[in-house]
Amino acid sequence: MTQKERITELEEKLDQALQHTYVYDIYTLHCANSELYIGYGNDRSLVIDVNTIYNDLPFLISEVCKEQKKNQEETLDRIKESLNEL
């Protein structure tokens, strides 16, 4: 791969990365003026209209619970495998 091709590839990856934000830890949550403020990272925040997120709550709760259940099952499987190795 030439240097120019590599630069083009990296620029495309950067453009894609700038379209998404991964929030690992949430540091603050509060509401004001019909907006939900979610603080994360180094002085970053996500602001969401309360009415919008309220309408999406059924989907959000359902999907988060499904993922959490899947993660718990995977962890339990790993624990069982570890115990079987003893």
- Write the pLDDT tens digit of every residue in 30-65: 999 999 999 998 889 999 999 999 999 999 999 999
Residue 44, Ramachandran bin (φ over 0: left; ψ between -120 and 50: alpha; else beta): beta
Question: Please, what is the average pLDDT of the chain?
Answer: 93
Q: Return the pLDDT at 32.
A: 97
Q: How many domains does the chain have?
A: 1
* pLDDT-above-70 percentage for the chain: 100
In this prediction the pTM is 0.66
HSE-CB of 29 using CA atoms within 13 angstroms: 3
Of the candidates 22, 54, 20, which has an alpha carbon nearest to the alpha carbon of residue 35? 54
The domain containing residue 46 runs over which residues? 3-85
Q: Return the pLDDT at 26.
A: 95
Q: Compute the average pLDDT of residues 2-21.
A: 90
For residue 36, count CB atoms less than 10 angstroms from its CB and return exposed for 0-12, middle for 13-18, buried for 19 or more: middle
Tokens of 12: 């495309």
